[in-house]
């Protein structure tokens, strides 16, 4: 995600608004342009990206807090030969509309509206959801409350804390997102949350550019700064054992959010059949830290369900 609070060491300032050099595989992946559209869901327009042929099995990618659908635009093309792929920007984030209030039920409605609009079930099988970080929580909600509508659900570094160490909630926001006078200055303020280093700065630049929009006076972040003061979600821990479809948990092996107490709690609550896959040498943002290992790991999980 991006933030306008005081920055740690800038990831992108050294490039002065220019794109960092990227490997050939990355350039080839982002060159596979998705079809872009917006779909109406409960009074808001939701950004939808799609890749691959209608009629192939459906795969829906769901991003994390403060992010957007293009966090997946260098990942989804690796699956588009065999899958009908889609990604959305949650309401309040990316290119989607903001809402006066947000809830797990609304985000589930956005998931299944995307399934329908992207024709992810046209091949006659239910879709699989892949949710990173916060995106794993609506994924969990759908797997617990609507398991009959899914072929599988994969949570990627989605930390569900034990009851003894509940989440204290997001920091309060007191105003709108800051407006930066230039794209260069805005890119220089981009950081990952929770804070971590980033070796693949071409990925950070790609997602940072997609996080920004031009407004009067300069550039600002796309996400609704008040979303977490107006969001409701049922207790996450109570849903872990209620997952009713095939499931998997992926995580970064050195993720600060997936400590031993979290792992013990989640693996104790999740169905025994839940597949488990740590990605070596990865922090919380697994697809940024180790994109090709993430692709390979996800392919392995999906092959088990085919």
Whether 188 is covered by a domain: the verdict is no
Phi-psi region of 157 (alpha: psi -120 to 50; beta: other; left: phi over 0): left
Q: pTM of the full predicted structure?
A: 0.96
Residue 174 has pLDDT above 70, yes or no: no
Reported residue count of the chain is 306
Whether 195 is covered by a domain: the verdict is no
CB 270 within 8 A of CB 248: no
Q: What is the CATH number of the domain that holds 230?
A: 3.40.50.1820
Whether 45 is covered by a domain: the verdict is yes
Whether 148 is covered by a domain: the verdict is yes
Whether 211 is covered by a domain: the verdict is no
CB 252 within 8 A of CB 283: yes
Domain that holds residue 159: 30-170+225-305
Residue 254 has pLDDT above 80, yes or no: yes
Residue 36 has pLDDT above 50, yes or no: yes
What pLDDT, on a 0 to 100 scale, did the predictor assign at position 3? 46
What pLDDT, on a 0 to 100 scale, did the predictor assign at position 8? 57
CB 257 within 8 A of CB 284: yes
Residue 306 has pLDDT above 80, yes or no: no
Instruction: Say which range, 185-189, 228-232, 254-258, 297-301, has the weakest mean pLDDT.
Output: 228-232
Structure tokens at 46: 């939701």
What is residue 124's three-state secondary structure? coil
Q: d(Cα 192, Cα 296) in Å, to the nearest integer?
A: 23
Biggest CA–CA distance in the chain, Å, is 54
Whether 249 is covered by a domain: the verdict is yes
Per-residue pLDDT of 117-129, as tens digits, reads 999 999 999 999 9
Per-residue pLDDT of 261-282, as tens digits, reads 999 999 999 999 999 999 999 9
Q: What are the backbone dihedrals phi and psi of residue 209, each rounded to the nearest 5 degrees, phi first?
A: -60, -35
Whether 264 is covered by a domain: the verdict is yes
Whether 103 is covered by a domain: the verdict is yes
Confidence of residue 4 (pLDDT cuts 50, 70, 90): very low
What pLDDT, on a 0 to 100 scale, did the predictor assign at position 166? 75
What pLDDT, on a 0 to 100 scale, did the predictor assign at position 171? 63
What pLDDT, on a 0 to 100 scale, did the predictor assign at position 284? 97
Domain count across the chain: 1
């Amino acid at each position: 995600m991006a933030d306008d609070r005081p920055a740690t060491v800038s990831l992108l300032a050294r490039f002065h608004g220019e794109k960092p050099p990227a490997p050939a595989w990355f350039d080839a992946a982002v060159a596979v342009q998705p079809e872009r559209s917006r779909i109406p869901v409960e009074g808001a327009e939701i950004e939808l990206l799609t890749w691959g042929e209608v009629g192939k099995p459906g795969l829906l990618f769901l991003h994390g807090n403060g992010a957007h659908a293009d966090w997946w635009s260098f990942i989804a093309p690796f699956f588009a030969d065999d899958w009908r792929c889609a990604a959305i920007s949650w309401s309040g984030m990316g290119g989607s509309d903001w809402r006066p209030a947000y809830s797990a039920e609304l985000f589930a409605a956005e998931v299944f509206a995307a399934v329908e609009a992207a024709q992810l079930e046209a091949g006659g099988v239910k879709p699989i959801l892949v949710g990173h970080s916060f995106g794993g929580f609506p994924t969990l909600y759908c797997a617990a409350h609507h398991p009959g509508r899914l072929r599988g659900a994969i949570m990627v570094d989605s930390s569900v804390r034990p009851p003894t160490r509940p989440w204290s909630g997001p920091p309060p926001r007191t105003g709108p997102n800051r407006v930066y006078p230039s794209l260069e200055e805005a890119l220089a303020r981009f950081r990952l949350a929770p804070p971590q280093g980033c070796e693949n700065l071409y990925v950070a630049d790609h997602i940072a550019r997609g996080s920004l929009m031009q407004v009067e006076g300069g550039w600002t972040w796309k996400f609704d700064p008040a979303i977490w003061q107006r969001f409701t979600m049922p207790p996450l821990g109570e849903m872990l054992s209620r997952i009713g479809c095939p499931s998997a948990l992926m995580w970064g092996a050195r993720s600060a959010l997936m400590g031993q107490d979290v792992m013990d709690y989640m693996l104790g609550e999740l169905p025994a059949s839940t597949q488990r896959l740590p990605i070596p040498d990865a922090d919380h943002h697994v697809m940024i830290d180790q994109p090709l290992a993430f692709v390979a790991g996800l392919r392995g999980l999906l092959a088990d369900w085919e």
